Amino acid sequence: MSDPIKRGLEAVDEGPVPSDPSGPEAAGTPADPGSHPTVAALVARFGGAVRHHEVSAGDEHVVHVDPTRNREVLQWLRDEPGHRYDLLRDVTCVDYGGGRPLQMVYVLWSIPNRLSLRVKCLLELDALEIDSVVPLWNAANWLEREVYDLFGVTFRGHPDPRRILMPLDYAEGHPLRKDFPLRGRFSRAEQTRRALAQDLDKFYTVHDLEIGREPQQVTLPHPDAGKAPASGT
């Protein structure tokens, strides 16, 4: 932006700038799998599919898992006796920017065993697709919709892959990606034009619009029905 008065507003025309544009995206310190009971069992069961194990923020264990086997690993974590990560706390995504892969993050908690674990899957920018975990946890339904909406990750086998926070016909992209400018991709005029030209049908699903489409056949008796016919004049 050349206008000196607007220089302070540059940020709104660009995506957020990372403090460390070239650093590695795995941020914790590598850890010994033996330091967490589940990670040791996970490595023994899945071997090479567990790519990396690290500890972040002091005591939070993170495992990086092969993105093609996420559902298999998570199902094992949910069902395996002795581990039983039954509560899916969160599903989210992290974009470090600079062409680095996106990180899918699954935050798990085991209510019976009081254990926590974070599972991450790295997704290259040209292959943003991963198996949905809705078959395992219904909680993932809206959380994955949000990741699709804000990051553009496609979930294979998701029952309802619509946008959730942004409008269903939003055409500017996926807002939480680092290359997305703060005020959107379209000009203010274009945004206003689109807002005014909205089609109300877009606010309903196709199924919704089918409901009650045909007006009901109202058959009220005619007001004169039942009266004796007027005698001839």
Q: Which is nearer to another protein, 68 or 202 (CB)?
A: 202
Best CA proximity match to 76, nearest among 124, 31, 33, 43: 43
Q: Which residues of 55-82 are buried (b: 16+ CB within 10 A; e: fewer)?
A: beeeeebbbbbebebbbebbebbbeeee
Supply the minimum distance, in Å, between the C-beta of residue 169 and another protein.
Answer: 12
Cβ neighbour number for residue 223 with a 10 Å cutoff: 7
What's the angle, vertex CA 181, arms to CA 179 and CA 185, rounded to 5?
100
**Which one of 1-9, 44-52, 165-173, 191-199 is the stretch in contact with another protein (CB under 8 A)?**
165-173
**CA-based max dimension of the chain:** 107
**Which one of 32-40, 65-73, 82-90, 218-226 is the stretch in contact with another protein (CB under 8 A)?**
82-90
In the list 1, 6, 9, 11, the residue contacting another protein (rule: CB under 8 A) is: 11
In the list 164, 179, 186, 194, the residue contacting another protein (rule: CB under 8 A) is: 164
Q: Is residue 139 a contact point for another protein (CB under 8 A)?
A: yes
**Which one of 42-50, 91-99, 121-129, 189-197 is the stretch in contact with another protein (CB under 8 A)?**
91-99
In the list 3, 199, 214, 224, the residue contacting another protein (rule: CB under 8 A) is: 214
Q: Is residue 176 a contact point for another protein (CB under 8 A)?
A: yes
**Please, are residues 95 and 64 in contact by the beta-carbon 8 Å criterion?**
no
Q: Is residue 28 a contact point for another protein (CB under 8 A)?
A: yes
Question: Strand 60-65 vs strand 50-56: parallel, antiparallel, or unpaired?
Answer: antiparallel
Supply the minimum distance, in Å, between the C-beta of residue 66 and another protein.
Answer: 20
What's the angle, vertex CA 177, arms to CA 174 and CA 181, rounded to 5?
85
User: How many amino acids of this chain bind another protein (CB under 8 A)?
Assistant: 55
Q: Is residue 165 a contact point for another protein (CB under 8 A)?
A: yes
Instruction: Give the interface with another protein as residue ranges (CB under 8 A).
Output: 11, 16, 18-20, 23, 27-28, 56-58, 60, 62, 86-90, 92, 94-97, 105, 107, 109, 111, 114, 116, 118, 137-139, 141-143, 146, 150, 164-167, 175-176, 180, 182, 203-205, 208-209, 211-212, 214, 216
